[in-house]
A and B are shown apart, each in its own frame.
Chain A
């Protein structure tokens, strides 16, 4: 089954404790992105990747890092999480101009 898998689905952490949200797709897609969803703001792109070792900033990249060492994986790293990064996070993947597939979402709370 074609899918984007994110883990964990829920995460509560403390300020400053490094964390990684994993994302994996099984469709051999070149493009992968991370979005965050906040009430009243919709979804906003954090980072994206056009292929292995090619990443770039989206609209709200501050406080986040990504890497793309393998085509299927695109982890989101928060080196020092802060409460303003409490949000719902989505990983997405697609082929060029193709349909976008979303992961199930990760609800992150930073206290």
Chain B
């Protein structure tokens, strides 16, 4: 079974600075998807970024980028120029590309605080 590990329960960053959230995963599959979700106090699950395992190029979305290291099974999220609105719980998630349940396997989350 696949597992996702987020080793940082909490992180903090100063406004306008850069922060990196860590995520490692375990799988025997070669084709899969990785995601970062943001959950603000409203509880809504917001997709931040998505990475296909077969793509070597790291995904980017504006101030958000990932460092995808397939051999190391590592998938970290970098937030540049942090803003107060980035404060939230962040979840790393894995999904198999083999189809079936479309199950997302989540890490336990990292709570990000942005200090003004």
Q: Which residues of A contact B (CB under 8 A)?
A: 31, 33, 35, 40-45, 48, 50, 56, 58-59, 88, 90, 92, 94, 96-97, 99-100, 102, 104-105, 107
Contact = CB atoms under 8 A, between A and B. Distances in A.
- Interface majority SS on A: helix, strand, loop or mixed? strand
Interface residues of B, number: 22
Contacts, number: 57
Contacts of B95: 100
B3 to A, nearest CB: 11
Contacts of B108: 40-42
B85 interface: no
A88 B43 contact: yes
Interface of B: 4, 9, 33, 43-45, 47, 50, 91, 93, 95, 97, 99-104, 106-109
Nearest to B109: A42
B101 A96 contact: no
A43 B4 CA distance: 11
A43 B102 contact: no
A94 to B, nearest CB: 5
B47 A45 contact: no
A44 B101 contact: no
Contacts of B91: 42-43
7 contacts: A33-B101, A43-B93, A43-B104, A92-B104, A99-B47, A102-B45, A107-B43
A42 B106 contact: yes
Contact of A56 (B43, B45, B101): B101
